[in-house]
Amino acid sequence: MIEDVDKQLKTLTLSTLEVLQNAFKKQQKLPAWQPVLTTGTVLPTFFVIGIAFVPIGAAMMWFSHMVKEVDIDYTNCVGPDGDMCLEFDIDEVMEEPVFLYYGLTNFYQNHRRYVQSRSDKQLLGDLSISPIKDCAPFDKDNDTKKPYFPCGAIANSLFNDVIKISKIEGNDEQNVPMLKKEIAGALIDTLNLPKDWDKELWELDPDDPENNGLQNEDLMVWMRTAALPSFRKLYRRINHTGIFEDGLPKGKYYFYIDYKYRVHQFAGTKSVVLSTRTLMGGKNNFLGIAYVIHGCVCFSVGVVFLFVHINRGRRHHEVLNVSSRTPYN
C-alpha cells in the first residue's frame, strides 16, 4: 500500500515538473514596455492628430478639385460596323500633362483563379515550357493542341478597343497626337496569343516594331490586375506638340473608337477618360475626405476628454492621498 502511494507521489511530482518546464518554455517572461495613458499624453495626441489631419485632408481635396476630367460611358454606343464616334466639348483648357484612360466596371480582376491564370515563365520569354495548369482552359487550342502564347485568362481578356481623338477646327479635323510608350510605369516584362486576340503577338503595335511581343506596354498595363471591380487603366499619353503643346485647348472634339471589347457578357460597362494630374496624382476625393473626417473626430474626442477631465478628473494630490475610506464618486 505504501509503495503504491510512493509511486503516485513520484508520478505526480514528475507531471508537475513537466508542466512547469512547459510553462517556462511556452510562457516566456520577456521584458516589455507598456505606456501609462494619462491625460497629459492622450489629450495632446488627439489634438495634434486633429489639427494636422484636417488641413492635410483639405489640401488633398483641393488638389483633387484642380484635376480636370472628361469621362464618357460608351457601353451602348456601338455602330452597325463596330466603329463609333463620340462628340464632346472641353470647356476649360486641360493643361499638360493630359492622359487618356479606359475604364471598366463589374470586372473582377482580383478573383483568385483569374489572378493565378498566367505563366510567369512564358512572360519572361521561355518558349520551351508547356502552359501550367493554372492557365486552363486558356492553355491550349482544343483542335490543334498547340499551346497559347501567352496563356491564361488575364492575357486572353486583353482590352483591345482602339481609341483616337480629333479636334474640330471649323470644317477640318486635327488628330490629337498620342504616345504609346512610357504608359506601363515601373512594370517588369511579365506579360502573356490567346484565342480571343485579333492580332498576333508581334502585331500589337504596327507603328512601332519595338513595342511588340511581350514588351508591348498595353499588355504590361493589362497584366497588372486591379484590386477593385471598377477600375481605370492608362491607355495613352497626349503628345504635347504643336497646338497641343500646353495641353488640350477649349473646343469641340471627337472620340473615334473601334468597338471590339465585349462587356455585356459580364454585365459591365466601359468608358473613356481624359484627365490631367496634380502633385497628388489624379482625381481622388476619398483620401482627402477620410483625412478631414478622421481629424474632426480626433479633435472632437479630445475636446470631450478635456471637458471630462476638467469637471470630473482627480487632482494630483487627491490621487496620492487615496485610502480605504476615500469615497468613490
In tens, the pLDDT along 258-296 reads: 988 989 889 999 999 999 998 888 888 999 999 999 999
Comparison of pLDDT for 251 and 7, the residue scoring more: 251
Comparison of pLDDT for 201 and 104, the residue scoring more: 104
Give the mean model confidence (pLDDT) for residues 310-319: 66
Strands (E), 204-269: 231-238, 247-248, 251-258
Closest CA to 180 of 232, 217, 223: 217
Half-sphere exposure (Cβ direction) of 156: Cα atoms closer than 13 Å: 20
Structure pTM?
A: 0.73
Per-residue confidence band for 317, with pLDDT thresholds at 50, 70 and 90: low
pLDDT value at position 29? 62
Residues in Cβ contact with 230 at an 8 Å cutoff, skipping those fewer than 6 apart: 103, 104, 105, 106, 107
- Percent of the chain clearing pLDDT 70 (strictly above): 74
pLDDT value at position 298? 95
pLDDT at 2 over 80: no
Query: 69-111+161-276 sits in which CATH class?
Result: mainly beta
- Residue 324 DSSP SS3: coil
**Looking at the DSSP assignment, which residues form a beta bridge with residue 272?**
72, 102
pLDDT at 236 over 50: yes
C-alpha 96/C-alpha 264 separation (Å) is 35
The CA-atom distances, in angstroms, between 51 and each of 43, 58, 309 are: 12, 12, 20
pLDDT value at position 5? 44
pLDDT value at position 120? 81
Q: Which of 32-41, 105-114, 195-204, 274-283 is the least confident region?
A: 195-204
Per-residue confidence band for 201, with pLDDT thresholds at 50, 70 and 90: low
pLDDT value at position 23? 59
